[in-house]
């Protein structure tokens, strides 16, 4: 047995997209595809799947070469720059961008990420932060891959803390130029995709300084390399070399030593120096300007979360299909060994995660709809924009964490064969690992979610403070919280119906799930608000006072996002007619909801939301749901939408 | 910045073993080294550390070549075959073997595992299952690496289920030979180290058949390759190629097509065919014979657990040292950014794991002592042997799971730089991943632990059944359980002292920890015994009745092992004089114990062992302990015993 050669996987005569699904699997797929069923079905039918997986034994250089080649091939098939406008006259198309990223994530993730760097980040910066001249001059070459670029934000000394970037972009009135400089070693741009080899230009984030005055972080285009690939004067690039994964992406470092570029190279949609050498911006408040500029990058987070979700689906597809094939240990009535997926312990490794994959998929669909609305031609409100940013941050964190845990669990569920690269799981695990860190470190993103929730009722707090109605505080704040966290009206109504006698419901009563999710989100936010208020009054080390709240901040964000996810699931089910598909999905939703409650059952007991008896019963109910869903395992995997032939795992051949 | 070349790491003039420790760090190291402080100190001083880390960018072929070269180099330095006797007249030395494995695990893990395959598994099989002729004929060449061998146990169709192996070893009286055969594709030996390239002989596990009668699994030596490296007639080897990690180990497959070997090639210490063609064994019961043969392999599990523990220590050393260097986000009173390890959330990622690394280290020391006793010159009882097997299985599972989680957490705690191979964490994570599966899948090993616990009072059960004293069952069984689970007398006495009024103790009262650990182990085992009994009475599908108990079986094993680990920690502290070292270790022990209780706090509440108020207080106490230990973070890392210069992480340079 030798390692399966990528070529040999694809020598069959039937096209890779041909599938024979069970009736239920086909229906589940339509439901999970949801609003985007057509786009996704077309994507599966037309995606150039031949050679979509990289040979894992390629070294760094060969991986980079293969990845760039694959990107060019996809471009020839029209799967390249999807969503990035080809010039000033075409419009940005967020839906096509997100759909293309999803489809790419079914194959090698280096290709997915290199495409994301080129089109989503570099192309996105030019599109969203640039103006007509930038669009006309650069978008045609960006979309045709003639110009490969970098998104040079992160610095060695400043990962998540973009506002503290040290790179300077200083306006030089004498020559009407900007001078880009890395004043310290910590200012070195780091982990930048396309920087080690392929990038010939970078969108560089730095502090804009005009006439000695700082105007905060702006972005300027800086050419990096000449046609031979050599660094231009003042530019020093470096190569991160071998990484934990994504070997096909040439991540590297960039240092600038007083590099001059013409004034027009600044991406000046939200601020720049006018022809008479004066700084001007359509947004007066520097803080708001900063977040507006970063906010345009929200699409990247939506894509990364979506891509991680696809990776988790691929891993679950492999592990569940293998569990339906593999026998181990003879047992009573099973002389040839027990089918792996008939072990309850094995079911519990995979089926609750399968349920969560559905749940996160429905939430992702909603998020895409919000993105398409906010970035579409119809104007959106500031509140809608802010809500999109919060949910994109939260769902990116939730889904990338989920993907990492799920791919690892799938690898272990396949035992020794899971460790062989020809079965795809270890490569996927390596690649998806960093999804939890890039496009915003997950822990920092969850802090953003909680910050947004707390902001929603700051006003109420200060008014109460002035009138001194201290006793009423908790209750009133509670109502504000209820508003902030009632992720959907449907869920709120469900919860209210059983609020008085929650323990009289069954464990699969959706109203009870809604109530528990609501209580978790509501109470944890209320309590955090109180603790924040107390911390702000502490004399002495303010940092330490807030430092103690770190875990609580994370919990609030998670509780809120879980509620969003359940809402999306319930909304999707409510749209279905009665029948087997709906019945199966009701069980899948219960399994998701109960596993979420079970994971936090200590919190629910600590806060007297469930009794110890009910807590134990949840575990038994999860077992029952696993047994009930076991006969539908294949259909449920088909519903995840990953064509079997795309999996490329040797154990399934 | 380019990838650090392995050579350039080692060009300094000071030797790699030179260290300057804090006073506390030095003392902590002595305590954790424990009984083996001398051996470990000598190991650190004499280990040939130059070039101990592999260049992660090497491809599969180059990695294998480098690994074999390093193994030969270690052999020249006398660090090779440690513990394997060089001939029939020298004795097996378990302590030296375990110490050598630990030391090797400070460097590239492919070297560690290839060494383990050659000396621990292949050499161990010849030593422990063979007799004089095998020792005289093969051990000199095995120890000098002239003969590289395989341990061919696992088959494609049979991973954990060794008793169901399909390979046959049939005695042929006509020629006084054995015929080794793989009757089906599922019988193919798989994932076998040294099989793809370097191995020229294999210790093959298969069903021994003599005159048509099966005698269960035995082991026979079979030559694989000629001097040119080509498969011998009847042998077909395969190459697993690229894997999730351990690229330097040439894992592969072996199939046998009616291969004949002389009768003396059977490793016949526990059974074989005599000169007159009749099967004979010193152990009559085939089942006991099987477990006796596997039992001799216990040393491998002790080594693998120990090696995984070292990997976790290396990862913690890198992440904590980085957390003491790196600043992020300015805050009140900290204009240059907060030191990463000053964030409570960051402390909580690393310090409880640091505490657990100490705890598991003390338990590993005890296990080594048990191994040295059982495999040493003094005779040991069957009970001692069985106890060693149980604890080796349990601690291997606990430590390898811990290592996987800890290395991943360390990688994430180092953010993007954690993902760069030059910082070692991702390579370590890849390599240690499979430690959870090989040498016994962790889930299966934990089942063995529980099985051993249940066996201990089976007799009591059946007696009670006969006399019909149903009411007394729970109580009496409880006492039996108490005996089975009282991992140490000290801990039992501590627990008893507070059993009546547990909530009157403080949260850092060791007596309360002892009580909680005891209650968890005792009650979960009692309950499982009752459920097992009920399941055995179920009519219909017996498999399904037991299937429902899978999670419970895992919990019992874990609860028992946690108690063992705490006992080892308490024993180590009890031996110390009063003073700073002891005070710090008391806090480390409390952090370990409270985190363990906290992780299971839902169980404790469900079983009314703690109130919801006390459960919340545990979280706050963990925060306090993290804050108290934070100033000692560097010393605690030094205590883990990994010389700073061996870490090889570019971010610490």
B459, pLDDT greater than 70:
no
- Best of A57, A252, A602, A616 to substitute, by most chain B Cβ atoms within 10 angstroms, is A602
Q: pLDDT at position A468, please?
A: 41
B623 and A159 within 8 Å at the Cβ level: the answer is no
What's residue B461's pLDDT? 53
Query: What pLDDT score does A477 carry?
Result: 42
CB A417 within 8 A of CB A137: no
* E strand map for B196-244: 201-210, 213-223, 235-239
Q: What is the pLDDT of residues A493-521, one digit of tens each?
A: 888 888 888 888 999 999 999 999 999 99
- Residue of chain B minimizing CA distance to A254: B1
**CA B275 – CA B259 distance, rounded (Å):** 21
B465-508, pLDDT tens digit by residue? 444 444 344 444 444 444 444 445 677 788 888 888 888 899 99
- Scan residues 230-269 of A and list those with Cβ closer than 8 Å to B: 238-245, 253
Nearest-Cα residue of chain A relative to residue B421: A243
Q: How confident is the model at residue B8 (pLDDT cuts 50, 70, 90)?
A: very low
3-state helix, strand, coil in chain B (%, to 5): 60, 10, 30
Contact B157, B255 (CB under 8 A): no
Q: Which of B159, B242, B330, B545 has the highest number of chain A CBs within 10 A, making it the mutation to test binding with A? A: B242
Distance CA B396, CA B403 (A): 10
Q: What pLDDT, on a 0 to 100 scale, did the predictor assign at position B199? A: 98
3-state helix, strand, coil in chain A (%, to 5): 60, 10, 30
pLDDT digits (tens, 9 = 90+) for B510-569: 999 999 999 999 999 999 999 998 998 988 888 888 899 999 999 999 999 999 999 999
- Tokens read off for A51: 């050679």
Does the pTM exceed 0.80? yes
Tokens coding B471? 């009411």
Check residue A11 and give its pLDDT: 39
CB A153 within 8 A of CB A217: no
Closest Cα in chain A, distance from residue B450 (Å): 15
Query: What is the predicted pLDDT for the residue at A347?
Result: 97
A566: enclosing H helix or E strand: helix A550-574
| DSSP-derived 3-state class of residue B232 | coil
What is the model's pLDDT at position A103? 95
- Give the span between the Cα atoms of B47 and B33, in whole angstroms: 16
Per the CB < 8 A criterion, the answer to whether B19 and B627 are in contact is no
Contact A241 B422 (CB under 8 A): yes
Nearest residue on chain A to B412, judged by CA atoms? A437
Residue B61's H or E segment, with its range, is helix B60-76
Contact between residue A43 and residue A103 where contact means Cβ atoms under 8 Å apart: yes
pLDDT tens for residues B267-291?
999 999 999 999 999 999 988 898 8
Check if A451 contacts B (Cβ < 8 Å): no
Do the Cβ atoms of B241 and A337 come within 8 Å?
no
Which H, E and C letters describe A573-622, residue by residue?
A: HHCCCCCHHHHHHHHHHHHHHHHHHHHCHHHHHHCCCCCHHHHHHHHHHH
Could you tell me if A225 and A199 are in contact, meaning their C-beta atoms sit under 8 angstroms apart?
A: yes
| CB of A554 less than 8 A from some CB of B | yes
Q: What does each C-alpha distance from A240 to A42, A248, B504 come to in angstroms?
A: 38, 12, 56
How large is the C-alpha radius of gyration of chain B? Answer: 26
Ranges in chain A, pLDDT < 70: 1-17, 80, 82-83, 87-91, 296, 457-489
N-term to C-term CA, chain B: 13
Cβ contacts (< 8 Å) between B425 and chain A: which residues? 244
Give residue B469's pLDDT.
40
Q: Rounded CA gap, A55 and A45, in Å?
A: 24
The pLDDT value recorded for residue B82 is: 65
Distance from CA of A323 to the nearest CA of B (A): 13
Tokens 């190991």 sit at which residue? B43
Is A543 in CB contact (< 8 Å) with chain B?
A: yes
CA distance A40 to A50: 18
In this structure, what token pair is assigned to residue A34?
A: 């949801």
CB A93 within 8 A of CB A85: yes
How far away is chain A from the Cα of B322, in angstroms, using its nearest Cα? 13
Residue A102, both tokens = 């999803």
The ipTM, to two decimals, is 0.91
Query: Phi, psi at residue B356, to the nearest 5°?
Result: -70, -35
Tell me which residue in A2, A348, A416 faces B437 most closely, judged by beta carbons: A416
CA atoms of A257 and A408, how far apart (whole Å): 43
Decide if A270 contacts A129 (C-beta within 8 A).
yes
Per-residue confidence (pLDDT) for residue B489, from 0 to 100:
63
Task: Considering only the beta carbons, identify the residue of B344, B434, B550 that sits closest to A419.
Answer: B434
Say whether B415 and A337 touch across the interface (CB within 8 A): no
Nearest CA in chain A to B617: A606
CB contact under 8 A, A602 and B608: no
**What pLDDT does residue A539 have?**
86
Nearest to A129 by CA among A225, A272, A237: A272
From chain B, the residues in CB contact with A419 under 8 A are: 191, 243-245, 433-434, 437
Dihedral sign for Cα B254, B257, B261, B267, please. Answer: positive
Indicate the residue of A238, A333, A619 with minimum beta-carbon distance to B1. A238
C-beta neighbour count of A212 within 10 angstroms? 7
For A437, which of B416, B430, B433 is closest by C-beta distance? B416
Q: What is the pLDDT of residue A379?
A: 87
Q: How confident is the model at residue B93 (pLDDT cuts 50, 70, 90)?
A: confident
Contact across the interface for B421 and A551, Cβ inside 8 Å:
no
Averaged over B8-21, what is the pLDDT? 59
Phi-psi sector, A69: left (phi>0), alpha (psi -120 to 50), beta:
alpha
Instruction: Work out the percent of chain B whose per-residue pLDDT is above 90.
Output: 76
């Amino acid at each position: 047995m030798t390692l399966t050669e990528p070529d040999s996987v694809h020598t069959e005569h039937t096209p890779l997209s041909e599938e024979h699904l069970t009736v239920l699997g086909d229906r589940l797929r339509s439901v999970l595809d949801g609003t985007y069923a057509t786009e996704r079905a077309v994507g599966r039918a037309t995606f150039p799947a031949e050679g979509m997986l990289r040979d894992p034994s390629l070294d760094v250089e060969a991986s980079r070469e293969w990845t760039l080649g694959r990107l060019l091939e996809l471009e020839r098939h029209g799967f390249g720059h999807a969503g990035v406008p080809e010039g000033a006259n075409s419009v940005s198309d967020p839906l096509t961008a997100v759909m293309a990223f999803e489809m790419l994530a079914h194959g090698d993730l280096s290709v997915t990420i290199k495409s994301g760097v080129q089109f989503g980040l570099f192309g996105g910066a030019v599109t969203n932060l640039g103006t007509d001249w930038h669009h006309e001059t650069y978008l045609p070459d960006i979309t045709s891959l003639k110009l490969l670029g970098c998104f040079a934000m992160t610095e060695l000394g400043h990962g998540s803390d973009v506002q503290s970037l040290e790179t300077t972009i200083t306006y030089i009135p004498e020559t009407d130029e900007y001078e880009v400089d890395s004043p310290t070693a910590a200012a070195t741009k780091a982990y930048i995709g396309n920087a080690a080899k392929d990038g010939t230009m970078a969108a560089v984030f730095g502090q804009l300084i005009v006439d000695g005055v700082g105007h905060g972080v702006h972005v300027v285009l800086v050419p990096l390399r000449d046609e031979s690939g050599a660094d231009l004067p003042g530019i020093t690039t470096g190569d991160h070399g071998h990484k934990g994964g994504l070997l096909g992406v040439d991540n590297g470092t960039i240092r600038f030593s007083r590099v001059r570029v013409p004034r027009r190279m600044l991406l000046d949609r939200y601020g720049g120096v006018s022809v008479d050498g004066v700084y001007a911006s359509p947004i007066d408040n520097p803080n708001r300007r900063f977040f507006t500029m970063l906010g345009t990058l929200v699409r990247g987070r939506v894509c990364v979360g979506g891509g991680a979700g696809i990776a988790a689906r691929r891993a679950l597809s492999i592990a569940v299909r293998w569990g339906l094939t593999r026998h181990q240990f003879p047992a009573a009535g099973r002389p040839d060994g027990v089918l792996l997926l008939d072990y309850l312990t094995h079911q519990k490794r995979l089926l609750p995660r399968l349920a969560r994959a559905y749940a996160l998929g429905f939430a992702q669909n909603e998020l895409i709809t919000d993105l398409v609305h906010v970035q579409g031609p119809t104007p959106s409100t500031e509140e809608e924009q802010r809500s999109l940013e919060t949910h994109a941050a939260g769902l990116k964190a939730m889904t990338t964490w989920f993907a990492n845990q799920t791919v690892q669990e799938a690898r272990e569920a396949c035992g020794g064969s899971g460790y062989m690269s020809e079965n795809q799981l270890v490569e996927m695990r390596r690649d998806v690992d960093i999804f939890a860190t890039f496009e915003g470190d997950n822990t920092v993103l969850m802090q953003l979610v909680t910050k947004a929730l707390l902001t929603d009722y700051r006003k109420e707090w200060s008014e109460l403070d002035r009138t001194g109605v201290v006793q009423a505080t908790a209750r009133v704040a509670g109502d504000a919280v209820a508003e902030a966290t009632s992720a959907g009206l449907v869920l709120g109504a469900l919860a209210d119906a059983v609020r008085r006698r929650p323990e009289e419901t069954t464990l699969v009563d959706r109203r009870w799930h809604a109530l528990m999710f609501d209580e978790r989100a509501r109470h944890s936010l209320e309590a955090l608000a109180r603790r924040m208020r107390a911390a702000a009054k502490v004399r002495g080390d303010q940092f330490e006072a807030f430092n103690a709240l770190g875990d609580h901040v994370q919990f609030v964000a998670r509780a809120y996002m879980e509620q969003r996810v359940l809402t999306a699931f319930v909304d999707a089910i409510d749209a279905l007619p009665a029948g087997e598909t709906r019945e199966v999905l009701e069980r899948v939703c219960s399994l998701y909801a109960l596993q979420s409650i079970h994971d936090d059952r200590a919190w629910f007991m600590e806060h007297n939301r469930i009794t110890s008896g009910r807590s134990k019963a949840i575990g038994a109910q999860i077992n029952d749901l696993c047994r009930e869903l076991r006969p539908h395992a294949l259909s449920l995997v088909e519903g995840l939408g990953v064509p079997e032939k795309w999996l490329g795992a040797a154990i399934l051949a």
